[in-house]
Amino acid sequence: MAEFQETGAPTAATAAGNGAATAAGTRAPAMPLIDPFGRRLSYLRLSLTDRCNLRCRYCMVEEMDFLPRADVLTLEEIDRLAGLFIRLGTSRIRLTGGEPLVRAGAMELVRSLGRHVRSGALEELTLTTNGTMLYKHAAGLREAGVRRVNVSLDTLDPHKFRAITRWGKLDKVLGGIDAARDAGLVVKINMVALKGVNDDEVHRMVAWCGEQGFDLTFIELMPMGDTGFAPLDGPDPQDRFLPLARLRTELETRWNLEPSGHRTGGPARYMRVKETGGRIGFITPLTHGFCDGCTRVRLTCSGSLCLCLGQEDAVDLRTPLRRGDDDGQVMAVVRDAIRRKPKGHGFARPGGAVRRAISVTGG
């Protein structure tokens, strides 16, 4: 398939072979996706690439073996699949990576997907990013229809930031966050809690996010992939696991946390910080399951539909997609896959680690 035109609109070939992509707002939607447990699947996390310009120690090894280009979906194929999922009831799409903005043509794809927001077929188009390229693309994201970005930021200490990310420069990320705010994007900060690494910064991060007007979400370290976490810890990466119940207890020594009914469609449970007026979210896949309300699936950049972040099972969509222009066949594979969606992840089981790396799955 040819790549996108410079305007970011689908090419004529895509329009001819993809009625869903160009007419998602006018064609009648198909029956929604309902899994075996009665959950309606309305949230797609869509990975644009497995590549990243950082090497965060809990996410990647330093010398990564990335997917060959032939195995990665083209931008047209991603656009087509997004359109099909919208027809199947998807109302929220989050673009992820790796780092999604390192993908050549990423902004053209974002602009193309924005047509679904403008038509009303898609309620929300968001992005998870490490922030390193926001200085360049923040205004374009806002113009394309993105209204909110999640920025992964585990520390406000430049030396610690370099140690965690191996290659990163904190000032570049902070500049990108400023650019996002200036462009009118809502910014949420995601912080992976790492025992003995950044747990001494949680109060500082709450205060900073409150000053900046950003929501903050703490995330438990998940046992995914072989990341070679040394030298930040010993031989077992899970030595850095910090239960968020313990972190919350520490926060409550300084801050008054009040219940909040705020939801974003993701797994975070939010509290309001009385002193700052800001919100704090907690994502606790290991210590406090949230699977009963799961409405999400993930599509990797290679076309694998991951039915659960904490399970190995995945369904190949790339093969039926590349067989031809029959959207019905692809949608049938998706429907069949949803019938296999598990009730919950297996992280808490002995040996519950997932071999698939976070960067491959998408955030």
Q: Is 298 marked as binding a ligand?
A: yes
Question: Does residue 71 register a pLDDT over 90?
Answer: yes
Q: Is 340 marked as binding a ligand?
A: no
Give the residue extent of every domain in the chain.
15-361
Q: What is residue 266's DSSP assignment?
A: S
Q: Around Cβ 152, how many Cβ atoms within 10 Å?
A: 20
Q: Cis omega before residue 231 (within 30°)?
A: yes
Q: Is 296 marked as binding a ligand?
A: yes
Q: Is 254 marked as binding a ligand?
A: no
Could you give the 3-state DSSP secondary structure of residue 47?
Answer: strand
Q: Is 209 marked as binding a ligand?
A: no
Mean pLDDT of 73-94: 97
Question: Does residue 263 register a pLDDT over 50?
Answer: yes
Q: 307-339 pLDDT, tens per residue?
A: 876 566 789 999 999 998 899 999 999 999 998
Q: Is 270 marked as binding a ligand?
A: no
Neighbour-count burial for 109-123, b at 16+ CB within 10 Å, e otherwise: bbbbbbbbbeeebbe
Q: Around Cβ 28, how many Cβ atoms within 10 Å?
A: 5
Q: What is residue 88's DSSP assignment?
A: T
pLDDT at residue 293 in the model: 64
Tokens of 58: 């809990």
Residue for token pair 């309305």: 42
Averaging pLDDT over each range in 199-208, 309-318, 343-352, which range is the top one? 199-208
pLDDT at residue 15 in the model: 38
Tokens of 87: 């027809």
Q: Indicate the CATH number for domain 15-361.
A: 3.20.20.70
Q: Is 359 marked as binding a ligand?
A: no
Q: Is 306 marked as binding a ligand?
A: no
Q: How far is CA 222 from CA 28, 130, 340, in A?
A: 39, 18, 23
- Give 304's strand partners: 316
Query: What pTM does this model have?
Result: 0.84
Q: Is 301 marked as binding a ligand?
A: no
Phi, psi (5° rounding) for residue 189? -100, 130
Tell me how far apart the alpha carbons of residues 311 and 358 are, in angstroms, rounded to a whole number. 12
- Give 323's strand partners: none
Q: 205-242 pLDDT, tens per residue?
A: 999 999 999 999 999 887 655 544 443 444 455 578 89
